[in-house]
Structure 1
Amino acid sequence: MSQLFRLIFRIRNFLLFVILELISFWLLVKNNHYWDVSFFNTSNFYAAKTLESSNYVKNYMNLGSVNDQLIAENAQLKKAVASMQSFKAREGDYYKVDSTFALRFEFKVAKVVNNTVDLSKNYLTIDKGTLDGIEPGMGVICPQGVVGTVMQCSEHFSRVYSILHSESKVSSEIKNAALRKKNDKALGIAIWGGLNPSVIDLTTIDRFKSIKQGDSVVTSEQNVIFPSGTMLGRIRKLSVKQDQAFFDIEVALATDFRNLSYVYVVNNKLKKEQELLEQSTTEVNK
């Protein structure tokens, strides 16, 4: 404390000068209308800038929690959309969709902690496992479209083979105005060619179907893993040879597999029931 007092004593003249300057400035501002207004405007400007910078830093620090909240809300929205699409799937038909069937899909948010795209068999690892209710066979999607299927689970993590996998097959459907007008469907199987992680092949589409470049490709209703209507991509190239029964179709994937951060794990609550029934029927017919 004594050292502080000695320091103040040594610079007493400078401190007196600063105090007198501040008093002079205050008297100038208070006794001159122009200076008063200028000082008020300047101080408000810098105060606003300081507040703006403070809010920017605060908002930036809260981005993580805001992002998590938005992702959770998106999961609920996807559940609602899947339900609406199920009800709408048979619109105009005599059959009325049961609410249990329409509400069969649940969505859980997970973070991608590992991912490959340059192999013939590509996988993802997500940070949710059996303790979170994840099981092998569940579908995985992202806000842009289809991602893959859960292959193996531990308590806290799950291994997912993406659609960029040589053994992955996704039941798909082409959507466009011409097909809707004819009340027609163009169903096929999406299979990755093993080269370009941005492109997938669509097979078994009848050459006489009314389709064109740019048409949307989505998951079909003949699917127990993914909700129908989930985006797969858009047709970027199609051709057919004279002796072929089906189109050769390349689809530009909607999902950017190189930049996956968050995904939604899809649980079809009726999947096991359907598979058990189909398996029992198959065994009876053997």
Structure 2
Amino acid sequence: MLQLVDFVVRNRFFLVFVLLEVLSVWLIVRSNTYWGATYFNTSNYYVAKTLAFSNSAREYTKLDEINSDLANENARLHALVTALNQKKPVDAPAGYIPDSVFASRFTYTVAKVVDNETNKTNNVLTIDKGTAHGIKPGMGVISATGVVGKVRFCSENYSVITSILHSQFMVSSKLVRSKEIGYAKWQGKDPNLVDMIDVSKYTKIFKGDSAVTSDQNSVFPPGIMVGRVETVTVNPNQTFYNIVLRLATDFRNLSYVYVVQNQQLGEQENLKLRTVETR
């Protein structure tokens, strides 16, 4: 308190000057229409700027919550689109009516990426969902833009995903325009590019064509983007194209993913196992 009094005493002339200045400005604004209007407009401008900055700061602090809400909404939309596509496939013959349970067999769980690798030969990533959230090894993982990988290991609250940027990972893919089916496989070099193998050179391939997941896999829903055709070459001594795809998923900026559960996967795998045993 004594320090405050001492400060006022030492600066009394300056404080009186400031008070008189404020009083003078107030009197001018009150008695002069022009300066009153100018003051009103100026104060409104700065108040609006301050409020805008405050709102921006408040929105920035809520970005994680907003992103989480968007990811949940995307998961719901993914499930809806997949079910609609399966209920009425574009290339289905006349009279084909798929079972409703089959059409809605895929469900999605949103997860956040907590660790990610892109510069190794065999890359993996870690998500913040595990067995406590219904995640199991073998489930597919996608992003908002395309294929990511497959669940490899799970703990109660975390899962390790084998990325598509892994030398031992392949996903059955189909070229949209030519309808040709092959396998997308990473060669361990550029994290933006993968090869598409086993595509016959006797079919016309278009540069820029989309490669999506095919119907011939039980892990991913059909029609999920894998990438776009970057280059197409052919060796006269080979029967297959050398196709390079630019990945749809940007692994360096991956934040949220969707774990895909095929609720009929166990039934499909059991049938395959029985087929192998009876051969």
TM, length-normalised to structure 2: 0.93
Match of 2:24 in 1: 24
Quick one: structure 1 residues 219 and 22, their matched pair in 2 at CA, closer, same or farther if it must change by over 3 Å?
same
User: 5 Å matches for 1:1-286?
Assistant: 1=1, 4-5=4-5, 7-8=7-8, 11-89=11-89, 91-176=92-177, 179=178, 185-285=179-279
SS of the aligned residue for 2:196 comes to strand
Per-residue deviation, 1:118:
2.4
Q: Which runs of 5+ in 1 are unaligned?
A: 180-184
SS of the aligned residue for 1:170 comes to strand
In 2, the alpha carbon distance for the partners of 1:7 and 1:240 equals 86
Task: Give the letter for the 1:43 counterpart.
Answer: S
- Work out the number of aligned pairs and report it: 278
Per-residue deviation, 1:210:
2.6
- Structure 1, residues 159-187: CA drift from partner, whole Å, max 9, x if none? 111112121111110012xx4xxxxx311
In 2, the alpha carbon distance for the partners of 1:188 and 1:171 equals 6
Quick one: structure 1 residues 12 and 103, their matched pair in 2 at CA, closer, same or farther if it must change by over 3 Å?
same
SS of the aligned residue for 2:217 comes to coil
Task: Give the letter for the 1:72 counterpart.
Answer: N
Quick one: structure 1 residues 186 and 30, their matched pair in 2 at CA, closer, same or farther if it must change by over 3 Å?
same
Task: Give the letter for the 2:215 counterpart.
Answer: E
- Aligned-residue sequence identity (percent) comes to 48
Task: List structure 1 segments (4+ residues) > 6 angstroms apart after TM superposition.
Answer: none
- Matched-pair contact (CA < 8 Å) for 2:88–2:97: no
Let me know the Cα RMSD of the aligned residues.
Answer: 1.8
Q: Which runs of 5+ in 2 are unaligned?
A: none
- Matched-pair contact (CA < 8 Å) for 2:142–2:259: yes
In 1, the alpha carbon distance for the partners of 2:259 and 2:57 equals 33
Per-residue deviation, 1:117:
2.1
Task: Give the letter for the 2:192 counterpart.
Answer: S
